[in-house]
Amino acid sequence: MSKVLIVAEHSGNQLNQSTARCLSCAREIDPAGADVVVFGSNCGEVAHQAAALEGVARVLTVEREENQAALAAIIAPQLAVIAADHDYILGPSTTFGKDLMPRTAALLGVGQVSDLMAVTGPRQFQRPVYAGNAIVTVEVPEGLKVVATVRTASFKPAAEGGAASIVPNQVAAELPAHTRFIELRTGGGDARPDLQTARIVLSGGRGVGSGENFKLLFALADRIGAAVGASRAAVDAGFVPNDMQVGQTGKIIAPEVYFAFGISGAIQHLTGIKDAGLIVAVNKDPEASIFQVADIGLVADLFEVIPALDKKLG
């Protein structure tokens, strides 16, 4: 049996890439591999995708009508039961994992290592604090289960090539009736690459000026196969929906290339892009702090740069 258990994140029929990233983290804890647990009302497809990842020992499925929407209050008591024999329980540091894992940790009577970014010992880990302006090394005392959310931008997704067995499970946990799922409203940008997995991300800030102007960014993104993100100021101003926000309170991403257009570079934004391979900044203010972290900086008006890039890169 594996020491490490990973909670799969999925949409019902598609395994989220965060699970493969958690697996890479798990293998730094135990190279032998990890179990993956899938909660859902119909886990078949997702379980097969998880079983195909290299390093998965077993895929445990917990099928139940109540598990259709991943409500923390419903999943946590089941996860606490499934995790009884594991020493490490990992979930992704996405809104799914952030909601579920602390509730589970409390049920197990242990703390949680949030945003685990590096494994520095069997029970020793690093994680960012103060919006990434400091890194702490923490240790979980011997004899306690380690519950963690994994900072997905810090780990590469595990490759495919596994053929783990899929083991259906029954969990005799009593589930509360006090929490009901109503609906999920998505931003609707389904045709574009996902912000969290895209190779290239183009982000716009307050400098973009309006939702209408964001179309310039979308057009360029579509031409080069990029995802589109935004600063908090752009989301707060209503230019684009909340699921596009990058930063401390938005998404933490690690694309190969990140373009920041009209973004000043507040620390809360920068914490979301620190692991980008290359940061390109376009801002008309030469003093903007984004230039202190940019690999390539251009002082210019974004309304001239974006159409020009569209022509030259097309």
Ligand X SMILES: Cc1cc2nc3c(=O)[nH]c(=O)nc-3n(C[C@H](O)[C@H](O)[C@H](O)COP(=O)(O)OP(=O)(O)OC[C@H]3O[C@@H](n4cnc5c(N)ncnc54)[C@H](O)[C@@H]3O)c2cc1C
Size of the site for ligand X (CB under 6 A): 28
Q: What is the residue type of 19?
A: T
In the complex with ligand X, the residue whose CB is nearer, 113 or 235, is 235
Burial of 121 (0-12, 13-18, 19+ CB in 10 A): exposed
Minimum distance from residue 8 beta carbon to ligand X (Å): 26
Burial of 168 (0-12, 13-18, 19+ CB in 10 A): exposed
- Residue 104 interacting entry, from other proteins, ligand X, none, C-beta within 5 to 8 Å by type: other proteins
Dist. CA 16–CA 32, nearest whole Å: 22
Helix (H, G, I), strand (E, B) or coil at 61: strand
Q: What is the residue type of 10?
A: H
The interface region with ligand X, picked from 27-35, 45-53, 87-95, 263-271 by CB under 6 A, is: 263-271
309 is a contact residue toward ligand X (CB under 6 A): no
In the complex with other proteins, the residue whose CB is nearer, 30 or 99, is 99
In the complex with ligand X, the residue whose CB is nearer, 107 or 131, is 131
47 is a contact residue toward ligand X (CB under 6 A): no
- Residue 288 interacting entry, from ligand X, other proteins, none, C-beta within 5 to 8 Å by type: ligand X
Q: Which of 85, 160, 256, 285 binds ligand X (CB under 6 A)?
A: 285
Residues 6+ apart with CB under 8 A from 123: 139, 140, 141, 142, 146
Long-range contacts of 274-282 (CB under 8 A, 24+ apart): 274/132, 275/153, 275/154, 276/201
248 is a contact residue toward ligand X (CB under 6 A): yes
Minimum distance from residue 21 beta carbon to ligand X (Å): 20
206 is a contact residue toward ligand X (CB under 6 A): yes
262 is a contact residue toward ligand X (CB under 6 A): yes
Tokens of 36: 């993956």
- Residue 182 interacting entry, from other proteins, ligand X, none, C-beta within 5 to 8 Å by type: other proteins
102 is a contact residue toward ligand X (CB under 6 A): no
Inter-residue contact 80 to 187 (CB < 8 Å): no
229 is a contact residue toward ligand X (CB under 6 A): no
Partners of residue 15 on adjacent β-strands:
10
95 is a contact residue toward ligand X (CB under 6 A): no
207 is a contact residue toward ligand X (CB under 6 A): yes
197 is a contact residue toward ligand X (CB under 6 A): no
Cα dist. 197→6, 96, 253 in Å? 19, 16, 8
Binding residues for ligand X (CB under 6 A): 205-207, 231-234, 245-250, 262-264, 266, 268-269, 272, 282-285, 288, 301-303
